[in-house]
Structure 1
Amino acid sequence: MPLKSILAAFSGDPHSCTALQLALQLQRRHGAYLTGVVWHGRMPLETRHRAFLGRTVADMLANREDEAARIIRADFEARVAAGGDPQAASFIDLHEMEDLSLPQRARAYDLVVMSRHAAEVGREHAEVRPDVMALRSGRPIIAVPDAYDGQLPEHMLLAWDGKRAAARALGDMLHVLGGVRKVTVLTIAATPEPAPEAGDDVVGLLHRHGLEASRIYRTAPRGRTTRAILDACGDTGADMLVMGAYEHSKFTEDLWGGVTRDILADARLPVLMSH
């Protein structure tokens, strides 16, 4: 399925501007329609002290948010005019109070592009994490690092454990992202898997899609999986990481950390994740 509809989370801060650069590149490559979106829930002041706020104060806070959204919209439109196709772009302001409003909207798009940081300090009420978007929207997400240079990725490193989320990420990479030239399949394991029947594995599938593909194995001490994956990205020269997004309980992540969360915190290349 070709890429025809992109949703770009855009809040106007420097982080989301790098994500928009990638979204514009994808728009041009695929002739896709690009929709920018700014989402903001209740401000902390409104959430914590709603019962004590007068109508005047509440209206003032709402007006300030509306004005901020208008400025963000104008910034988005200017960037699209400079580097994309304004005739195939639009902007929406999701000022809704439901936590799932943005993931729900994302389900109607082929791909979501967003920064690792959806908001600057002081605008945390407008922040949605990429891993949460992947888990709740059911759509592939590209999380773009702050220092993204604007080049479209061609060499993917696929973090492959054979599970459902990784298979979903592989399918999204093949069917949504055209222009992939090379894929390195990385498995973190103490010993390589038994050799499959000829062509009957993930590398064989990639070859059938006409891609240059190879497989590597790495070991990782307990708690070092993230480092092993990111080191492999650097060693192979990959310019995008493709992985499944995994859901853990809040208690487990607080106690042990989570690979998905840590990848988003430390990766210096775009990350395509699916769940």
Structure 2
Amino acid sequence: MVKDMIVHLDGSERDDIALAHGEALAAQFEARLVGLYTNVFQTRFMPADLGGGTSADIIADILDQARRAGDDTEHRLRQRFELLRSDCELRRVDGSEGDLVQAVAHYARCHDIMIMLRPYGEDRPRWVQLTEAALFAGGRSVYLVPPAMPAPSRLDTVVVAWRDTFESTRAIAEAMPFLKRAASVILAAVEDPEEEGEDAAEGLLEMARHLERHGVQITVRRLPRRGKISEMLLNECQRAAADLLVMGAYGHTRFREWILGGTTRSILSQASLPVLMAH
């Protein structure tokens, strides 16, 4: 069951899209909606020590300006939240990007779903580290929205990208409330030449039987490998006129931090529908 969800807000015009999706999902599940406004302090541009306390004064002034700008944004967001029909509240976190990374991971752990705009696919990447923190350190699902996409009233058709992995299983478990509500769920697996055919097929059918026992209306689709996995999955979503794609979030570590893997990043760059991911 989904009882609460949190939506990431940054004070930009993109917040309206994220909030619209958050409000729509909260209404469908009758869940509490929390807005998390992250006000970043650009500490990487702080001046070096110039002596005589000059740099300290400049830094203090920069931080004060950032807080006051955050106050204006928070006031505007609170006015927007007063118009929401959902049970809702707004929270705010100020700090460096490192501070915000920790805060996002914490709040993701304390809610059933985190809603974010996807980090790729626009003129420049946005909030990549926060997205990675939610996916790889949050422990719950992340609902990632394409830019400028209106919130669907219902998520009737869902495509589930299946691989016999921990990440896929976690994504399916997190997505179960969505799958039970959907009119049609397509369990799609891109065939891997390196996997044994019969074993891979049986694993796919076993997961389909598991979902059926949960009352999910399931259709199995085996997709012969022709090109990139991301393109094949997105083509399947287009063929099915899907409202949601569910998949595991894959990545690898660099300097002890998780970063998105190639297929995951490609999906988040190209998908024209919301993607529910879990790691």
- Shorter-chain TM-score above 0.5: yes
Residue of structure 1 in register with 2:18 after alignment: 19
The CA distance in 2 between the partners of 1:211 and 1:122, in whole Å, is 38
CA-CA distance at 1:212 after TM superposition: 1.5
Query: Match for 1:213: what amino acid?
Result: I
Structural mapping, 1:1-275, within 5 Å: 2-46=1-45, 49-52=47-50, 54-85=55-86, 88-97=87-96, 98=99, 99-117=101-119, 128-151=129-152, 152-175=154-177, 179-190=181-192, 193=198, 196=202, 201-221=206-226, 224-250=228-254, 258-275=262-279
The CA distance in 2 between the partners of 1:248 and 1:44, in whole Å, is 27
Corresponding pairs, count: 263
After superposition, the CA RMSD in angstroms is 3.1
Q: Matched residue of 1:268: which SS? A: coil
CA-CA distance at 1:146 after TM superposition: 0.7
The CA distance in 1 between the partners of 2:184 and 2:233, in whole Å, is 17
The CA distance in 1 between the partners of 2:130 and 2:170, in whole Å, is 19
Change (3 A) 1:116 1:16: farther
Q: Matched residue of 2:272: which SS? A: coil
Which consecutive residues of structure 1, in runs of 5 or more, have no partner in the other structure?
A: 252-256
Change (3 A) 1:200 1:150: closer
More strand by share: 2
The CA distance in 2 between the partners of 1:122 and 1:201, in whole Å, is 41
TM-score between both structures, scaled by the size of structure 1:
0.83
Which consecutive residues of structure 2, in runs of 5 or more, have no partner in the other structure?
A: 256-260
The CA distance in 1 between the partners of 2:276 and 2:205, in whole Å, is 24
Higher relative CO (Cα under 8 Å, sequence separation at least 6) belongs to 1
TM-score between both structures, scaled by the size of structure 2:
0.82
Q: Matched residue of 1:220: which SS? A: coil
CA-CA distance at 1:14 after TM superposition: 3.2
Query: Match for 1:24: what amino acid?
Result: E
CA-CA distance at 1:24 after TM superposition: 0.5
